[in-house]
Structure 1
Amino acid sequence: MSIGELRRISHTGGRRRTAAERRAAGADNKAAIVFLAPFILGAVVLTLGPVLMSLYLSFTDYNLLQDPQWVGIDNYARMLGDSRLHQSLLVTFIYVLIGVPLQLGVALGLAILLDKGMRGLPFYRSAFYLPSLLGASVAIAMLWRLIFGAEGLLNTLLGGIGIESHQSWIGSPETSLSTIVLLHVWMFGSPMVIFLAGLRQIPVELYEAAATDGAPAWWRFRAITLPLLTPIIFFNLVLAVINSFSAFTQAFIVSGGSGGPADSLLFYTLYLYQEGFGSFRMGYASALAWLLLIIIGVLTAVNFWLSKYWVHYDD
């Protein structure tokens, strides 16, 4: 008797399945294949196919108008001397290193505040989540230009308190990236909701026992909240890093697609877009896309490796 037959017998309580049961199981399998077919087809045609095509194009010289010409690793070798690529990496890493911790810190702080059981919690939760739905949109990016422009709302507010300023905050290399980081921090809604759900899972008995022993609030936060919340922090951290590296709309709209003054807003994805659809160097743009994939993959792997030193799971 084969292993497959033994498994089938074990699933039917130690007896062989009847012909009717086998036909029913076959019908269920066919139904499953039918329902999964659109997803599988979409994954192959819309995801796997373009991914493999971009890998091929990364080794070619392709301008979208003529047939790709094989150039080997020339596109990857070109990256070593590409100063604008290096600038885009610098801008993106600064954006990630500053924006991600600030966003998660704000999200965690507001989640703790909302976890206190204040009145109108559903309203505040929805209001704080709203920026995450609107933050990466074209309309909000254009609004950001109006707020931080030379005649924008920020300068108007500063003038109202006696500080005259006609500086364009998005037009200055020293401050333009800070405005985009602020926009990123403003989109704290998604991690905040996830933090709030994690806080609701921490047993209240732990806080009550610590309070009975006279532990102050800061100690309860450090010894109870943070350790039990580390899996949620890790989850939000991984998602935030990936999303930050793929940021595009904010920099494109605020800088007008140019990368800002002195390339201070030249995000990696914006430079990739300029090379592929601005200069029609699609082969080089494909190589840039694979470099981005490698960077995100390496950073994600590092995060998972480091997680064993600070993430605590309940056994």
Structure 2
Amino acid sequence: MIGKLKKKRDHANLSGYLFISPFLVGFFWLTIFPIGMSLYLSFTKFDLLGSPRWIGLDNYVRMFTEDDKFWQSLKVTFLYAFTAVPFRLVFALAVALLLVKTIRGSGFYRTALYLPSIIGGSVAVAVMWRQLFGNNGAINGILEALGLPTTSWLGNPDTAIWTLILLFGWQFGSSMLIFLAGLKNIPMSYYEAASVDGANAWYRFSRITIPLLTPIILFNVIMQMISGFLSFTPSFIITQGGPLNSTLLYALYLYQRGFMFFEMGYASAMAWVLLLIIGIFTAFVFRSSKHWVHYESGGDR
């Protein structure tokens, strides 16, 4: 009897593994193996044509001591991420606060405002953005019609990065929907009780909405921060990293080293440095969350 039960259990386990085998093959072959290969290549000199040649830590030493463009790309990426991410989240929360109220056509507005998040990362949108902010684009056309001075938005190192930041903020739809779901989960009785006690709108927002929304804010901060550090398409399509490397995002420089200069070993080392940077900032956000994130079931985490 015990043998039959064991045989049935083994058969059930085998069936389960067969069902998940496509995922396991994809996970190990398309995820784990490339990650391990990238780590190995980061210690080699590899030009995609010949065989990798082991050089130890030379790629990392060169990156931190000899490559000025590496530091420039890091500087640009930090500016981009720490400006564009708060801009997107603040704007998304503001729009979510407007849409949380039941108004006529609210479903249409939510759909329309979410669309940029679906198409925002595409090449077509980047091309459209480049046309809008070009010397003869719509933005300068509007300014000229209003009698205001025009400028070369994409050709000026002081303004080019801000056009990319604006594009990142425009793609606020996914964050908005997540904020909207969080706002709908806050009981209205809290606001009603606060109103009876004489609390004004700002007090209700700062003492009820924000504290109860902090788990959602934590999630959005982490996801959008990662997205900001990995941003590639806008810089590649709109500015190609110029002018004067003022929009040379880290992911774009990594691409240039790997696929334009065929320094795949060096690009792999850059990828692992980026992974480490994202991991450090993610850990810092999680570590700090116990001081500002509030959970209903267990208090502060």
Q: TM-score, normalised by structure 2?
A: 0.96
Distance 2:127 2:157 in 1: 19
Q: 1:289 aligns with which of 246, 250, 271?
A: 271
Matched, 1:215 2:178: no
Shift of 1:30: 2.3
Tell me the CA shift for residue 23 of structure 1.
4.9
Query: Is it true that 1:244 corresponds to 2:254 in the alignment?
Result: no
**Aligned counterpart in structure 1 of residue 141 of structure 2, from 146, 151, 156:** 156
Matches within 5 A, 1:160-239: 160-165=145-150, 167-239=151-223
1:276: Cα distance to partner? 0.5
SS of corresponding position for 1:170? coil
How far off is 1:213 after superposition? 1.1
Letter in 2 for 1:66: G
Q: Which residue of 2 is the match for residue 141 of structure 1?
A: 126
Q: 1:1-315 to 2 correspondence within 5 Å?
A: 22-80=6-64, 81-165=66-150, 167-255=151-239, 257=240, 259-315=241-297
Q: Which one is further off, 22-31 or 246-255?
A: 22-31
Equivalent AA in structure 1 for residue 48 of structure 2: L
Q: Distance in 1 between matches of 2:85 and 2:11?
A: 49
How far did 1:24 drift?
4.6
Supply the distance in 1 between the matched residues of 2:15 and 2:169 (Cα, whole angstroms): 45
Q: Give secondary structure in 2 for the equivalent of 1:85.
A: helix
Shift of 1:22: 4.8
Shift of 1:120: 1.0
Alpha-carbon distance in 1 for matches of 2:158, 2:14: 61
Measured in 1, the distance between the counterparts of 2:170 and 2:2 equals: 61
For residue 262 of structure 1, give the secondary structure of its aligned residue in structure 2.
Answer: coil
Q: In structure 1, list runs of 5 or more residues that go unmatched.
A: 1-16
- The one-letter amino acid of 1:131's match is P
Deviating beyond 4 angstroms after TM superposition, the runs of 4 or more aligned structure 1 residues are 17-24
Aligned residue pairs total 296
Q: Hey, what's the Cα distance between the residues in 1 that align with 2:6 and 2:206? A: 57
**SS of equivalent to 2:244:** helix
Greater C-alpha Rg:
1
How many Å apart are 1:260 and its aligned residue?
1.1
Q: Deviations over 1:209-245 (max 9, x none)?
A: 1111111111000110000000000000000000110
Counterpart CA distance in 2 for 1:112 and 1:283 is 47
- Cα deviation digits, residues 273-293 of structure 1 (max 9, x gap): 000011111110000000000
Distance 2:227 2:5 in 1: 48
Q: CA deviation at 1:311?
A: 0.4
**Secondary structure in 2 matching 1:261:** coil
Q: Secondary structure at the match of 2:51?
A: coil
Aligned-residue offset at 1:21: 5.4
Question: Within 2, Cα distance between the matches of 1:164 and 1:216?
Answer: 42
SS of the equivalent of 2:107 reads helix
**CA apart distance, 1:25:** 3.7
Give the whole-Å Cα distance in 1 for the aligned partners of 2:46 and 2:186.
55
**Amino acid of the structure 2 residue aligned with 1:37:** S
In 2, Cα distance between the equivalents of 1:141 and 1:270?
A: 14
Q: What one-letter code is carried by the residue in structure 1 that aligns with 2:238?
A: V
In the aligned structure 2, how far is the partner of 1:97 from the partner of 1:60? 33
| Consecutive unaligned residues in structure 2, runs of 5 or more | none
